[in-house]
Amino acid sequence: MSESTIGHVVVPGTFDPVTFGHLDVIRRARRLFPQVSVAVAASVGKNGSGPIFALDERVGMLREALCEQGLEDGVSVLPFSGLLVEFCRELGAGGVVKGLRAMTDFEYELQQADLNSYMAPGLESVFVMSNPKYGYVSSSIVRELASLGTDVGFLVPSCVERHLRDHFRS
């Protein structure tokens, strides 16, 4: 591959839990790039509190969901903590793919992309617009609905729905 092409990208996120929206971004990244690494962030203090699922649980759920959806070919799932640019450097990834649902996502992601560009000038940021049918889907909405006992099968794969049910029963 020449220097002008990118063969490996990272799709980062907390994935607490993984949703159909996340899987759509991963699917589309895989259509664009031959190798995709999904980076599951430790995110200990995200939004003022930690994730509801441990890092190893989120990695496992994501792997299950990728298998269930037939998306495992060319896609790896790895946990990470620390700086995303360092993780990409370690993997030899040339780009970061992020999904955008709304302007608020864009403003935040643009700031992150600008910072990443400063810290790792060769690392490209690729934004994928959300499929309209997933534009309203977020992990926080899924968690809230699941905590209230609502069916979330229209938002997440069945394996994730099962993990949520088990989590909120205990």
Task: Let me know if 139 is a catalytic residue.
Answer: yes
9 touches 95 (CB < 8 A): yes
As a residue count, the chain comes to 170
Q: In sequence order, what are the residues at sequence separation of 6 or more whose Cβ sits closer than 8 angstroms to the Cβ of residue 98?
A: 11, 12, 25, 109, 112, 113, 125, 126, 127, 128
Q: In sequence order, what are the residues at sequence separation of 6 or more whose Cβ sits closer than 8 angstroms to the Cβ of residue 152?
A: 142, 145, 146, 161, 164
Task: Let me know if 101 is a catalytic residue.
Answer: yes
Q: Which residue out of 43, 76, 89, 101 is catalytically annotated?
A: 101
List alpha helices for 55-102, DSSP H: 55-68, 84-91
Q: Which residue out of 8, 22, 28, 163 is catalytically annotated?
A: 22
Task: Let me know if 46 is a catalytic residue.
Answer: yes
Q: Which residue out of 27, 30, 139, 143 is catalytically annotated?
A: 139
Vertex 84 angle, CA 31 and 45, to 5°: 115
Phi and psi at 99, nearest 5°, equal -90, 145
Q: Which residue out of 46, 89, 165, 167 is catalytically annotated?
A: 46
Catalytic sites, residue numbers: 22, 46, 101, 139
